[in-house]
């Protein structure tokens, strides 16, 4: 899976939308949309914000094994 796929799973499990995440993390919806479609990758500071907000590990979100 990709970052976008993992992010979709995390949001779905928490009942959140891309818009919710954008608001909660102060990230643009367009950036989140690009990540969902695997067009771009997030900056590390955005990964940190997302992990804190969604209470998940960066290892899981980035699929580091």
Identify the pLDDT of residue 2: 87
CATH of the domain at 12: 1.10.260.40
Q: Which pLDDT belongs to residue 22?
A: 97
Say what the pLDDT of residue 64 is: 78
Residues of the domain holding 53 = 3-62
The rounded distance, in Å, linking the Cα atoms of 56 and 48 is: 10
pTM of the model: 0.87
Q: How confident is the prediction along the chain (65 residues), in pLDDT tens digits per residue?
A: 789 999 999 999 999 999 999 999 999 999 999 999 999 999 999 999 999 999 999 999 998 76
44-54 and 3-14 helices, crossing angle to 10°: 30
Number of domains in the chain: 1
């Amino acid at each position: 899976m990709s970052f976008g796929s993992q992010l979709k799973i995390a949001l779905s499990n928490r009942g959140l939308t891309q818009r919710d995440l954008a608001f909660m993390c102060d990230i643009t919806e367009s950036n989140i949309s690009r990540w969902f479609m695997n067009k771009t990758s997030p900056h590390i500071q955005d990964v940190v914000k997302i992990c804190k907000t969604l209470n998940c590990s960066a290892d899981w979100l980035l699929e580091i094994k």
